[in-house]
Chains A and B, each alone.
Chain A
Amino acid sequence: MPAAPVIRLAHLGKHYETRAGPVPVLKDVNLDIGPAEFVAIMGPSGSGKSTLMSILGCLDAPSDGTYVLEGRDVGALSRDQLADLRNRVIGFVFQGFNLLPRATTLDNVALPLVYAGVGKSERLATARQMLERVGLGPYAASFPDQISGGQQQRAAIARALINRPRLILADEPTGNLDTRTSQEIMGLLRQLNADGGITVVLVTHDPDIAAHAMRLVHLVDGQVAEDGPLRRRVAGSRAR
């Protein structure tokens, strides 16, 4: 393990308050993820994968334990500091793409730059460049409902990448896509990881998708059941 992890979770716990009382979802999760790692998280439905991802993405706060991101204790940060982390350090890719329906592909991709305070011409130039990079150059002026799911996810990835984040969090990014498109998206993420040195954490139910990762974390009942280099674990996960 390299000396300074990008992500360090110590005794992390999360429960949701419901009318029937607190529902524990994550229990004593300990996890270190280093720079430029490519981690796949698998596990049965309801095991807390998405919950974990939302905590990693600073969209939700843990109930117990600590989350240290690039050496900073996230629990001690203000709302706006968290927003800044989401803007500059983390790129989120969702299963449902989550593009703004009323904005063009180009405007969607450029939106994080708006919150980063980048000027208009630079914003649009960077966004156009990023669209070219994910192969969406001709669709800059299209609206999300005018392009395919695979294209929408590419746009979402372009948006996640536009502020040069050091961490990409992808929660079932291929869950709504066919096999071929899924492989294309994975190729893109892999390239970012290998060429750009970006840390990627990916949640998936598909062993073929997980196979792109270097390390597999198996989450069961809100706890890390298995954690190790991938080649040894794919077979076990397939037996699920």
Chain B
Amino acid sequence: MTMGPMLSEARQAMGANRLRTFLTMLGMMIGVGAVIMMLAVGQGARDFVDRSIASMGRNLFVVLAGSATASGVRLGTGNVPTLTVADAQALEELATVDAVAPILPGAAQIVYGANNWGTSVLGITPRFLDVRNWRLSAGFPFDDSDVRSAAQVTLLGHTVVKNLFGDEDPVGKTVRIGKSPYLVMGILAAKGQSLDGRDQDDAALIPITTAQRKLFGSQFQGSVRFMVVRAGSAEAMPVAERDMTQLLRQRHRLADGADNDFSVRNLTALVSTAAETTRTMSLMLGAIASISLLVGGIGIMNIMLVSVTERTREIGIRCAIGARTRDIRLQFLLEALILSVVGCLVGVFLGVAGALLVSAVARTAVVVTLSSVLMAFLVAAGVGIFFGFYPADKAARLKPMDALRYQ
């Protein structure tokens, strides 16, 4: 028997019971749609993490001020001003360390004209932009002389600009941070969300000296909350970590056996852990979605078994006029295949549409890849053949007389 009449017979058989055909396909549609959507969400998350890592800069440490215990009172790291700009300069002298950016963070209200916006203000040195791999989209960064003179200059993040200036060009304008006027020297290029979901564009940068002396009025001269340190290379990171710890203990005159009054964290390692987690999670999402594909396949098998039973007499008639085993088997296999492939096509469509919807509603990156669509499609076709085979074989093995006599 050739494919032409088989296809038209399959169409007839499926058309005879449209609702059932649709419901069977629905299982497949949902399965494939879920797989594609989950893969898209997972891929989006992975892309996001990869991009964040790339934009963050490489081979980074964070050195936080304070330790787990300080003078018997447990305090969170970064809350005790034990690190200084001098520490940063000393660290930078280490052979394994490439650059150090000391940071004093705080929060302040920024006012321009009638608008005001609360944001995080970071006291930094010009090194910061380089170490964090941040760029300006307009204007110029402040330099070391601005830091030395504690100049009242600032670089604004995108979100801040949007809320204070709207369409106006902020470069060269003066804003008020806290109680003092600051000259806007430049705008930071938009970076989007950080890995932990914070808006990285909602920030203003000022010279660290300005932050220490004027804005936050720190009680300890020259203190910083934390530093971002870039090691010379990925290979040098373990050595750099040891060197830094040693140097800082020496500078802070810590006795042997005393706890560190700072902590060093390998940021790159932390982030690759995040990337690993995302990868595992997206794999798990796909696996869970695959289960619905499996359920869809079982639905096809179920309905094909019902169909074989219902059409036992028809099978007998076909046998009586000369249908061979393979004719019968192929006929039912083809029906199962059509159910799964058509269901799958619609499922691909639904999955892509769903992924786009998710990306529009949840504002997260969702990436549909051709390979995920192809994979879902192949799996669906495989599921159709796999779950269609048993019913088809059952039909093909019926004894002609038993099938004919079936009521």
Contact = CB atoms under 8 A, between A and B. Distances in A.
Nearest to A83: B324
B325 interface: yes
Contacts of A54: 401, 404
Given A98-B404, A102-B13, A102-B16, A87 B399 contact: no
A236 interface: no
Interface stretch (A25-33, A112-120, A184-192): A112-120
A27 B321 CA distance: 28
A166 B321 CA distance: 14
Given A102-B16, A103-B12, A115 B323 contact: yes
A84 B319 CA distance: 10
B1 A115 contact: yes
Contacts of B2: 114, 117
5 A-B pairs with least C-beta separation: A87-B322, A60-B401, A115-B322, A59-B400, A83-B324
Contacts of B323: 83, 115
B135 interface: no
A77 interface: no
Contact of B317 (A57, A60, A98, A114): A98
Contacts of B92: none
A60 B327 contact: no
A111 to B, nearest CB: 6
A86 B317 contact: no
B4 interface: yes
Given A60-B400, A80-B325, A86 B12 contact: no
Nearest to B403: A59
A115 B327 contact: yes
Interface in A81-109: 83-84, 86-88, 92, 98-100, 102-103
Interface residues of B, number: 24
B276 interface: no
6 contacts: A86-B321, A98-B317, A99-B317, A102-B12, A102-B13, A115-B1
Contacts of A180: none
A124 to B, nearest CB: 11
Contact of B325 (A83, A92, A102): A83
B93 interface: no
Interface residues of A, number: 27
Contacts of A115: 1, 318, 321-324, 327
Contacts, number: 66
A240 interface: no
B130 interface: no
A79 B326 CA distance: 11
B321 A79 contact: no
B113 interface: no
A37 B84 CA distance: 117
A103 B8 CA distance: 11
Given A102-B16, A117-B1, A120-B4, A87 B321 contact: yes
A174 interface: no
Task: From B13, B323, B399, name the one whose CB has the most chain A CB atoms within 10 angstroms.
Answer: B323
A100 B1 contact: no
Nearest to B12: A102
Contacts of B322: 83-84, 86-88, 112, 115-116, 163
Contacts of B321: 86-87, 92, 111-112, 115, 159-160
Task: From A100, A103, A112, A116, name the one whose CB has the most chain B CB atoms within 10 angstroms.
Answer: A100
Given A86-B400, A112-B321, A115-B327, 6 more contacts: A60-B399, A80-B324, A98-B404, A114-B1, A117-B1, A117-B2
A141 B16 CA distance: 17
Contacts of A86: 319-322, 400
A86 B319 CA distance: 8
Contacts of B399: 60
B314 interface: yes
B197 interface: no
A85 to B, nearest CB: 8
Contacts of A112: 321-322
A88 to B, nearest CB: 7
Contacts of B401: 54, 59-60
Nearest to A89: B322
B5 interface: yes
Contact of A98 (B4, B16, B320, B326): B320
A27 to B, nearest CB: 19
Contacts of A59: 319-320, 400-401, 404
Nearest to A91: B321
Contacts of A80: 324-326
B156 to A, nearest CB: 73
Nearest to B4: A120
Interface in B1-29: 1-2, 4-5, 12-13, 16
B332 to A, nearest CB: 15
A116 B13 CA distance: 21
A51 to B, nearest CB: 9
A103 B317 CA distance: 13
A83 B319 contact: yes
A163 B321 CA distance: 10
Contacts of B325: 79-80, 83
Contacts of A111: 318, 321
B243 to A, nearest CB: 81
Task: From B5, B16, B325, name the one whose CB has the most chain A CB atoms within 10 angstroms.
Answer: B5
Interface in A106-154: 111-112, 114-117, 120
Interface string B395-407: 0000111001000
A84 B2 CA distance: 16
